[in-house]
């Protein structure tokens, strides 16, 4: 069975990078070796893995990666720290049009 991983890296400048791979160790080595000069992480090395989640279905992995790429850094860090309370608070809608914000 082939496995896929969605991962979050913390770069040396504290920015976060989210990606998908079928080999975490290989991908982190690639990021840290700087093989691709156009990669987001190239000038932000070294990088450290702060989160990974395993999937057996590539479509589920792609869906999850796209979902968390849209998240704020604070929410990604809460996921990495498994801070369920903060994740819940950050998931609440804060738009002016949200029903809880109407008076």
Specify the pLDDT at position 101: 53
Average pLDDT in the 58-72 region?
A: 97
Give residue 91's Cα distance to chain centre.
15
The secondary element (H helix, E strand) that includes residue 60 is helix 58-69
Q: What is the assigned CATH class of domain 4-101?
A: alpha beta
Sole residue written with tokens 């190239």: 42
Picking from 58, 48, 46, 40, the residue whose alpha carbon sits closest to that of residue 7 is 48
Q: What is the pLDDT of residues 75-101, one digit of tens each?
A: 999 999 999 999 888 887 665 555 555
Q: Is the pLDDT of residue 70 over 90?
A: yes
Indicate the domain borders of the chain. 4-101
Pseudo-torsion of CA 11, 71, 77, 18, nearest 10°? -40
Q: What is the pLDDT of residues 18-57, one digit of tens each?
A: 999 999 999 999 999 998 999 999 999 999 999 999 999 9
């Amino acid at each position: 069975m082939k496995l896929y991983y969605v991962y979050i890296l913390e770069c040396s400048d504290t920015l976060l990078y989210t990606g998908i791979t079928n080999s975490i160790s290989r991908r982190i080595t690639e990021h840290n070796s700087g093989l691709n000069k156009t990669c987001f992480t190239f000038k932000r090395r070294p990088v450290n893995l702060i989160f990974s989640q395993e999937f057996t279905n590539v479509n589920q992995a792609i869906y999850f990666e796209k979902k968390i790429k849209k998240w704020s850094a604070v929410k990604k860090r809460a996921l990495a720290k498994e801070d369920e309370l903060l994740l819940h608070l950050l998931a609440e809608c804060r738009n002016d049009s949200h029903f809880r914000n109407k008076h």
